[in-house]
Amino acid sequence: MQVNTNFPEILKKEISFGDRYLLKNSVKDKIGTAPKENLRFIIIIPCYNDPGIIESLKSIWNCARPDSSVEVIVVVNSPENAEAEILAINNKTIREVKEWGKTHNDTNFNFFILNELGLPEREAGPGLARKIGMDQAVMRFNQLNHPGGIIISFDADTTCSSSYLSEIEKCFNLYPDTKGCSVYFEHPLAGNDFPEIVYRAIAEYELHLRYYISAIRATGFPYAYHTIGSCFCVTAETYVEQGGMNKRKAGEDFYFLQKVIPLGNFREINTACVYPSPRPSDRVPFGTGALVRRFIEGKISHVDTYHPGSFEQLNEILQDPSEWFGMSPAQIQSKFKRLPDLIKDFAGPDYISKIEEINNNSSTPGAFTKRFYHWFNMFRILKFLNFAHKSYYLKVSVREAAVRFLEKAGHGSFEKMSTVELLQHFRKLQKEEGRS
């Protein structure tokens, strides 16, 4: 049989898992050196106005080494209209990282730096910077046709425990079907690096994060995980299959992980720790840095969060969705009428038609439940909580919410505890209840 030799060159070689993604996203090799055959971990660090990044690199370098090769890709970035002061800091960072890397590269541990200064203003931000680095990770794993390569998301103002890499490795070794992980974190609550108000602010903010996840988990919802940019990892194959990182200027981590977590086989690593910085920031409109800045500027004196009553109402529909399975339209309407007014007002008549649709496409209670949670997901939960906040339950201080939640859950009396003591209790609870 005669072979047609006119096929494009890409079709003549063995197709690798990331070829289509790389072609579609026009990803070019920005590193230029071949990856080691045993490469398994690539850590991506976006870096913008981060003069302290060497401390982050030191903490990674000092980790207990996994059995496979590790690469670290630092993406120094800024928008095209960046101020001269920011550009100066970024250029100094590039020089320092290059110099530091000269004495901190070895056979199985290599550091690379990407100079991404002058990014388009409309896109420049954490999302694009993270995407640039992660796309390079895909290219390198693709050269090895290694879909199980692990892309690790970190930050330039963050450090980690010495067990960080070895515990990530252990998780993927114990559970080979893992698609991604959330790594346990703790913000510093005291020290000499920041004013006292910064530590007070970050204690309130982290308490909000932990209360929020615990309260959602208490409703029965199975996909409630922390989604922090410096504290997650995914396989290269999963990253590609979900279309890669988005270019959002804030919340890119949350939006990306909401595509990954519902796939299943997403786990928590609570045997290592990431230490994000509590420093203020004006680069993003919300999140850690923005909230701390508002504290410093005197715009807020405490953190408000969603009222526990909102979650208690949410429990009515999230605790056991399979109760709706197999119901006739008349039964669905009858059950819907018995729901709390808040639920009915939020859901409206579309809820009934959606339940009917899910029923029509589910053959078992388990299939129904899975489809239901994919519809009533973290985005819909957030919409519900904002609706409840405006219409039924005013937000309350995070301390008040945390106390009520813990006491109602039967953990004891917490009224006399400080914010930091409450946070320590939530930390302990979430480490113990880790999801795998």
Confidence at residue 284, expressed as pLDDT on a 0 to 100 scale: 61
pLDDT in tens, 87-106: 999 999 999 999 999 999 99
pLDDT in tens, 398-425: 999 999 999 998 888 888 899 999 999 9
Instruction: Judge whether 5 lies within some domain.
Output: no
The percent of residues above 90 in pLDDT, for the chain, comes to 83
Instruction: Judge whether 1 lies within some domain.
Output: no
Q: How far apart are CA 60 and CA 65, in angstroms?
A: 9
Confidence at residue 401, expressed as pLDDT on a 0 to 100 scale: 96
Q: Which residues fall within 8 angstroms of residue 178, CB to CB, at 6 or more apart?
A: 171, 172, 235, 265, 266, 267
Q: Please name every residue paired with 358 in a beta bridge, in sequence order, or none if there are none.
A: none
Residue at a domain's end among 264, 298, 332: 298
Instruction: Judge whether 393 lies within some domain.
Output: yes
**308 φ, ψ (degrees, to nearest 5):** -55, -30
Which tokens hold the place of 43? Answer: 């850590």
pLDDT in tens, 227-243: 999 999 999 999 999 99
Sign of CA dihedral 289, 290, 291, 294: positive
What CATH code is carried by the domain that includes residue 68? Answer: 3.90.550.10
Residue 5's pLDDT band (boundaries 50, 70, 90)? very low
Residue at a domain's end among 298, 326, 351: 298
Q: Do 318 and 182 share a structural domain?
A: no
**40 φ, ψ (degrees, to nearest 5):** -130, -25
Confidence at residue 293, expressed as pLDDT on a 0 to 100 scale: 82
Q: Do 275 and 156 share a structural domain?
A: yes
- The domain tally of the chain equals 2
Domain encompassing residue 125: 16-298
Q: Do 136 and 269 share a structural domain?
A: yes
Q: Do 134 and 34 share a structural domain?
A: yes
Q: Do 374 and 234 share a structural domain?
A: no
Confidence at residue 395, expressed as pLDDT on a 0 to 100 scale: 94
Q: How far apart are CA 256 and CA 242, in angstroms?
A: 8
Instruction: Judge whether 6 lies within some domain.
Output: no
Confidence at residue 200, expressed as pLDDT on a 0 to 100 scale: 92
Residue closest to 107 by CA, chosen among 38, 30, 29: 38
Residue at a domain's end among 265, 298, 331: 298
Enter the pTM of the model.
0.93
Give the mean pLDDT of 326-354.
Answer: 93
pLDDT in tens, 231-287: 999 999 999 999 999 999 888 999 999 999 999 999 999 999 999 998 877 666 667
